[in-house]
Amino acid sequence: MTRMTFAEATRRALAEEMRRDPLVWALGEDLVQGGIFGQYKGLAEEFGPERIVSTPISESTIMGAGLGAALCGTRPVIEMRIADFTLCAMDELVSQIAKVRYMFGGQGRAALVVRMPQGMWRNSAAQHSQCLEAWLTHIPGLVVAAPGTPADAAGLLKAAIRSDDPVVLMEPKNLWTAEGEVPEEVAPIPFGVARRAAEGDAVTVVTWSAMVPVVEQGARESGIGCDVFDLRSLWPWDEAAVLASVRRTGRLLVVHEAVTVSGFGAEVVARVLEAVGPSGLRAAERLGAPRAPVPFSPPLEEAIRITPARVAEAIRRIAAT
């Protein structure tokens, strides 16, 4: 095991995949310079400008070029810089990439990865801080992954690159510099398999992405025995593990950075309720952001941020029911 940052882990994983498969390449703004978070640093020197491609500032062009290249047999890694900018390329992603395999009866495939760093990051304000994960899990044809540790970021990136389906990788901006233990040889992590971060019998806590370290700390501070799951991928998601836990604890808390209203947490709660019934679920709660733009002001941003203290409070409240 080696301790490294989120950015370093994904950079190493991408380099290993590019060495393994000459059809893998990356395109996006400023990649030759290393990318906005340094996750491409040094790759241009090893692989050259034909495989690490800095593009014009045109998200629809980047996304469309990636689709065309995938249909021609390569495996593009499309860098969107931040998730908010993907809105300029939503037609290419939602109406073309997600549907091309179905609409052409499997004759063409969009075997590509779209990297979308999302969420809050040092007061980036309303147009640079959004979490769009719920939009994308709603789209048939897309795999959606949301890593919360450096090791999982590397493993999910490898799995995404090798997938024959288009994969959206929602990477947490606030964790790019966070460190964690990463195996010397990272294996692809299968989609739909959650990581159990803690074990307990009182409350089942489900989370992903930037909330993983927040929830882990909050669960410890609560003093309550929690079964904590890091979903790692949102579609598919590990229903079996969560349902088995809820059937034991009878209580569920879902925590996400995204706006609570219509967030993916609602899908988790609804599915659990359908599966275990109201008699098997003593309490269920979602903890997420208010339905408000993310403020630029540091104190206002902090006021809507999910903190370990808020997680601990929610766990204690649910455990008392």
Task: For residue 297, give the CATH number of its domain.
Answer: 3.40.50.920
Q: What is the pLDDT of residues 232-274, one digit of tens each?
A: 999 999 999 999 999 999 999 999 999 999 999 999 999 999 9
Instruction: Establish if 2 belongs to a structural domain.
Output: no
Query: Are 178 and 290 members of one domain?
Result: no
**Average pLDDT score over the chain:** 96
Q: What is the mean pLDDT of residues 59-86?
A: 96
φ, ψ dihedrals at 66, nearest 5°: -60, -40
Task: For residue 108, give the CATH number of its domain.
Answer: 3.40.50.970
Please indicate whether residue 138 is annotated as part of the active site.
Answer: no
Q: What residues pair up with 43 in beta bridges, in sequence order?
A: none
- Catalytic residue (one of 11, 81, 128, 173): 128
Query: How many folded domains does the chain comprise?
Result: 2
Q: Supply the pTM of this predicted model.
A: 0.95
Query: Are 135 and 273 members of one domain?
Result: no
Query: Are 82 and 215 members of one domain?
Result: no
Contacts of 294 (CB under 8 A, 6+ apart): 120, 124, 125, 126, 129, 130, 301, 304
Positive or negative, the Cα torsion across 301, 315, 209, 197? positive
Q: Where is the domain boundary, 116, 150, 182?
A: 182
Query: Are 152 and 68 members of one domain?
Result: yes
Q: What is the pLDDT of residues 30-58, one digit of tens each?
A: 999 999 999 999 999 999 999 999 999 99
Place of tokens 């590019």: 18
Instruction: Establish if 187 belongs to a structural domain.
Output: no
Query: Are 178 and 230 members of one domain?
Result: no
Query: Are 48 and 75 members of one domain?
Result: yes
pLDDT at 129: 84
% residues pLDDT > 90 (the chain): 95
pLDDT at 102: 95
pLDDT bracket for residue 122 (50, 70, 90): confident
Query: Are 49 and 174 members of one domain?
Result: yes
Q: How far apart are CA 92 and CA 111, in angstroms?
A: 14
Query: Are 146 and 266 members of one domain?
Result: no
